[in-house]
Amino acid sequence: MDISYWTNLSPIVKIVDTKKKFYNQYFYKLLIYVPGCKLITEQLDRTVDIALTERILRMEQRNRNWGGSWFDDRSFNEMKENTRVDQIEYFRETKKEYEDLIKYRTEKDHISIYCDDEDLLYKIAANDPYNRIHEIHRPRDEKEKEILSRGESIVVNIKHGYKIVVRPWMHINNETVSQIYNYLLSLEDQIQMPRGFRIFLENKDQYKMTGNLYFYTSDPGIVTFIQMICPRFITGIHKLSKVAR
Locate the domains of the chain by residue range: 4-142, 153-242
* Axis crossing angle, helix 195-202 with helix 174-186, rounded to the nearest 10: 130
Per DSSP (E only), the strands in the chain are 14-17, 28-33, 102-107, 110-115, 133-138, 153-155, 162-166, 171-173, 191-192, 207-209, 214-217, 234-242
Highest CATH level, class, for 153-242? alpha beta
Q: What pLDDT, on a 0 to 100 scale, did the predictor assign at position 124?
A: 96
pLDDT tens across 159-207, in order?
899 999 999 888 899 899 999 999 999 999 999 999 999 999 998 887 7
What's the chain's average pLDDT? 89
Give, in order, the Cα–Cα distances in Å from 30 to each of 33, 111, 113, 119, 133. 10, 8, 5, 12, 8
Could you give the angle at the alpha carbon of 87 between the alpha carbons of 83 and 92, nearest 5°? 115
Asked whether the beta carbons of 148 and 27 are under 8 A apart, the reply is: yes
pLDDT tens across 118-162, in order?
999 999 999 999 999 999 999 999 999 999 999 999 998 888 999
**Nearest to 153, CA basis, from 233, 31, 237, 244:** 237
Q: What pLDDT, on a 0 to 100 scale, did the predictor assign at position 66?
A: 45
